[in-house]
Chain A
Amino acid sequence: MNHLLSIEDLDRADIERIVSLAERFAEVSDREIKKVPALRGRMVLNLFYEASTRTRSSFELAAKRLSADVVNFAASGSSVEKGESLKDTVLTLSAHKPDAIVLRTPWAGASELVSKWCSAAIVNAGDGKHEHPTQALLDVYTLRRRLGQIDGASIWIVGDVAHSRVARSDVLAFQRMGAKVTLAGPPTLIPRDIEQLGCEVRYTLDELHTADVVYALRMQRERMSEMWVPSLREYASQYQINAARLKPHQVLMHPGPVNRGVELSGEVVDSPQAVITAQVEAGVVVRMAVLYELLAGSSPGSAEGASPGSAGTHERGVAAAPAGRPQAAAVGEGQLA
């Protein structure tokens, strides 16, 4: 694998390989010193054209736990505001020879375009409303941990599908993992012909009880001013996942940030059925796995001493160094919002 541009490009074996690798990295996160030297000396560039705290810091943390150097480049306040094109920005930053560029833009296909302009491995961290592949991988990871397996599961994705890159990547990823996916939401926010992705479409939650997993999407307030739905109140009355609608056997997921009282009621967010914080946790280990896969080769263990399994030796070495560095320093400046 040279890049991670979309779930579309991956088959089930690819997804399972990354998720299994992430499970091995999870062990690193549970250590006192949360760092392995796998990508020491490698540079990961975070290039973000959209505001993002969670995804960016999750990538930053993942890269730092692998001992990579991280440079963050936000489009606002940069040469981009002076009119520099995406191509020129990428060519300029490429002069610093990053090994990987993590790219978030408001434009579909931008990651693929960038992959043709430079030699770095490109990780799509969201391209417009197209895809958000690492979100889907962390969702698969979270779900597999919770359910054991995804095969045969009924997963309902509820809400603003039209404006959601998460929905598109999840439909593909869940289906590749053997789940049956249903999209539900206001008819104005379900794209025409989307069932050609192989999923089903519902405009009411009448059959939501048949789902094993309920995946609620964020309902953005600006959609109201664009008149996609009559009001937030009406949206909540029809589509909010609340205690009345969520059945005890169901797992509740959400990509964050949550609008409490809109797409989710407070009580379900706080319920044990919700795996929302587990998703955030999964984000770091899955992104570690993605960066490792792209930069350290596709077969873990082939790079001597760099795989997570053998990293323990190094880790002990590091831990044995002067009095064990404080945890915060080992994690670096990365922070989760």
Chain B
Amino acid sequence: MTGMGVLVGGPGPAAELLLLDVRVLDPRAGIDARRDVRVSGGVIAELAEPGSLQAGEQEEAIEGGGTLVLVPAFFDPHVHLRTPGQEHKEDLRSGTRAAAAGGFAGVIAMPNTDPVVDSAPLLRSLRDAAAREAHVAVGFLPAITHGLQGEQLTDMAELRSEGALGFTDDGKPVVSAGMLRKALQYQRLCGGVIALHEEDPTLSRSGAMHEGAVSAALGIAGIPTIAESTMVARDAALAGYEDARVHFQHLSCAASVDAVAEAKARGWRVSAEVSPHHLLLTEEAVRGLDTRMKMHPPLATETDRRALVEGLRSGIVDCVATDHAPHAREEKEVPFEQAPMGSTGLETAFAALHTELVLPGVLDLGLLVERMSAGAPLFGLPAPLIAAGQPANLALLDLDAEWTAGEHGWESRSENCCFAGRRLRGRVLLTLSGGVLAHRDRSLVPVGAR
């Protein structure tokens, strides 16, 4: 793969493509204009006035009609690809196919697999497998502590030399402040971002949903928002003290946004992500005890949701991350309290956010596009850019296409999507990852084939 640093992706022919009269929208490149775009040898070769480029012999031409939108491909810093050990939920192929279908050219896989990704040989084998099998570029965050147990640091320097983008115990918090402090100190040697799942287990206990009016009515043990926000505040202070670089994963409540804002105001090196489900859903979605609505951290209140949207808009929250968490049907087809946490999200992220936040005028389309690829630079990777000479990491969008999430099944091996059945507007027609065609929607017909 080209241009994605230490990410790895499967092999494929370099794309030869001519996009005629598409709306090129890339806030980083400062462009929002109709253009003809030529991709040659997997690289963006030309951006020209519409009507000025002609298709060559080997090129596929696609007519944008001035309405299809070409954006820098999305980047998801938080997915669960379930390899190794849980391939009944997802694997490198199915997970990256889902990513490509959602317009993502790159993803970062979490280490809470079976076994946990906490050693260099395992990381190396995963990267080798990704180089053979992945449809989009994949990066890895191995564990901070062995087995996610929070007791002993992994061989972080060796893992970095094997291509680790950083470290996380995602799925679990680093409960001990002293242990996290050691990891932050050790970061001076090895670098890499420390990404944190924030949860105080003495507060979250056996909770299965947000603590509030809905959990009180359902009699389900609740997880209070302070279980997250106090840990965000604690770890931001640790990062500030050690001048370390930390990233807060899947923020879920207003108090956590406040804690990140405070840390940023102090100049501490922190960043944060938010998931589409926390931006769009609340505890009310849990009232019917649909296990697809069970996730960690839990869906909170409307006040929290609005604070997260505002945080994303203002930039206090840096990027969107799906926390794509596939689970097999039989694992989710159980009573709510027994079900595992998580929802898939790669295939619906853009369409759901476009439908619910951009179309009603809450967020600007350009801002959403920027936030959906902003995860890459946070982990030291180049941000995808639409400019001549750049590798083609592109997504072509039809903003008017209406579809029902899940109507044609899923690319993911699992179907536990919290947006399943929703009517969505906005469809990813084409995804290029590192110059290779990773996804093409069945509706997309090349010029001349009509």
Contact yes or no, B289 A191, CB < 8 A: no
How many angstroms between the C-alpha atoms of A8 and B289 in the bound complex?
Answer: 14
- Determine how close the nearest CB of chain A comes to the CB of B298; give it in whole angstroms: 14
- Selected from A107, A164, A193, A194, the residue in CB contact (under 8 A) with B337 is A107
- Selected from B220, B222, B330, the residue in CB contact (under 8 A) with A130 is B220
| B29 interfacial contact with A, CB 8 Å | no
How many angstroms between the C-alpha atoms of A165 and B336 in the bound complex?
Answer: 16
A188-201, CB under 8 A of B: which get 1 and which 0?
00011110110000
Q: Identify the stretch in B18-26, B86-94, B209-217 within 8 Å (CB) of chain A at 4 or more residues.
A: B209-217
How many angstroms between the C-alpha atoms of A168 and B213 in the bound complex?
Answer: 12
A37-64, CB under 8 A of B: which get 1 and which 0?
0000000000000000000000000000
Within 8 A of B (CB), among A82-130: 85-87, 105-110, 112-113, 127-130
| B333 interfacial contact with A, CB 8 Å | yes
Contacts of A128 in B (CB 8 A): 219-220, 335, 337
Contacts of B224 in A (CB 8 A): 192
Contacts of A107 in B (CB 8 A): 334-338
How many angstroms between the C-alpha atoms of A164 and B217 in the bound complex?
Answer: 11
Contact yes or no, B215 A191, CB < 8 A: yes
| A131 interfacial contact with B, CB 8 Å | yes
A110 closest partner in B (C-beta): B335
Contacts of A193 in B (CB 8 A): 211-213, 216
Contact yes or no, A129 B220, CB < 8 A: yes
Contact yes or no, B212 A86, CB < 8 A: no
Contacts of A192 in B (CB 8 A): 211-212, 216, 222, 224
| B218 interfacial contact with A, CB 8 Å | yes
Interface size on A, residues (CB 8 A): 26
Contact yes or no, B219 A197, CB < 8 A: no
- Selected from A8, A87, A108, A194, the residue in CB contact (under 8 A) with B336 is A108
How many angstroms between the C-alpha atoms of A194 and B221 in the bound complex?
Answer: 13
Contacts of A112 in B (CB 8 A): 289
- Selected from B217, B221, B330, the residue in CB contact (under 8 A) with A168 is B217
Known: A108-B289, A196-B213. A129 touches B219 (CB 8 A): yes
- Selected from B212, B221, B333, the residue in CB contact (under 8 A) with A87 is B333
How many angstroms between the C-alpha atoms of A106 and B222 in the bound complex?
Answer: 16
Contacts of A196 in B (CB 8 A): 213, 216-217
How many angstroms between the C-alpha atoms of A131 and B219 in the bound complex?
Answer: 8
A193 closest partner in B (C-beta): B213
A191 closest partner in B (C-beta): B216
B224 closest partner in A (C-beta): A192
Contacts of B213 in A (CB 8 A): 193-194, 196
B215 closest partner in A (C-beta): A191
A169 closest partner in B (C-beta): B219
- Selected from B222, B330, B333, B335, the residue in CB contact (under 8 A) with A191 is B222
Contact yes or no, A194 B335, CB < 8 A: no
Known: A128-B219, A129-B219, A192-B211. A86 touches B334 (CB 8 A): yes
How many angstroms between the C-alpha atoms of A168 and B216 in the bound complex?
Answer: 9
- Determine how close the nearest CB of chain A comes to the CB of B311; give it in whole angstroms: 24
How many angstroms between the C-alpha atoms of A309 and B330 in the bound complex?
Answer: 47
The 5 closest A-B pairs by CB, nearest first: A107-B335, A129-B219, A109-B289, A191-B216, A194-B216
Chain B positions within 8 Å of A, measured between CB atoms, are 211-213, 215-222, 224, 289, 330, 333-338
Q: List 17 A-B contacts (CB under 8 A).
A: A8-B217, A85-B334, A86-B334, A105-B335, A107-B336, A109-B289, A127-B335, A129-B219, A129-B220, A164-B219, A165-B219, A191-B216, A192-B212, A193-B211, A193-B212, A193-B213, A196-B213
Extra inter-chain contacts (6) besides given A85-B334, A108-B219, A109-B336, CB under 8 Å: A8-B217, A87-B334, A107-B336, A107-B338, A108-B220, A191-B211
Chain A positions within 8 Å of B, measured between CB atoms, are 8, 85-87, 105-110, 112-113, 127-131, 164-165, 168, 191-194, 196-197
